[in-house]
Amino acid sequence: MIVIEQKPKRVELTVYAEFTLADYKEFENAVNAYVPLVGEVDLLFDLREMADFTLDVAWEDIVFARAHANDFRRIAVLTHSQWVAWSAWLSQIFVHADIEIFGEEDEARAWLDDGDEAAA
């Protein structure tokens, strides 16, 4: 299950339990509808409650990242999993965005907010 929130120049995704391909497609649709309206956005992925993800999600993430290589400014990933952190760093190969891994939500939000102020 996922929860998606669109905020000014930011899309926030929280994943609970298993992250499925249907969930990822829902996220893609939200981004594909929002980016053309506002331009480059920040992403906040909260994966702390994610129990697992399917292999097709990993593949779809690569395809999506390549298609949207220039649509994101900063990507904050909240996780306690070394595997998720490693895969997020791997995504930097395909996306021209700053990607940071955080264990605490307030730190992730502060980093994204700091980027908002620097861009203004």
CATH for 57: 3.40.50.10600
pLDDT of residue 17: 94
Give residue for tokens 């990507």.
75
pLDDT at 108: 97
CA 101 to chain centre: 11
Which residue positions in the chain have pLDDT lower than 70? Answer: 83, 85-93, 115-120
94 touches 66 (CB < 8 A): yes
Going by C-alpha positions, the residue among 70, 63, 81 that lies closest to residue 27 is 63
Number of domains in the chain: 1
Range of the domain at 40: 2-119
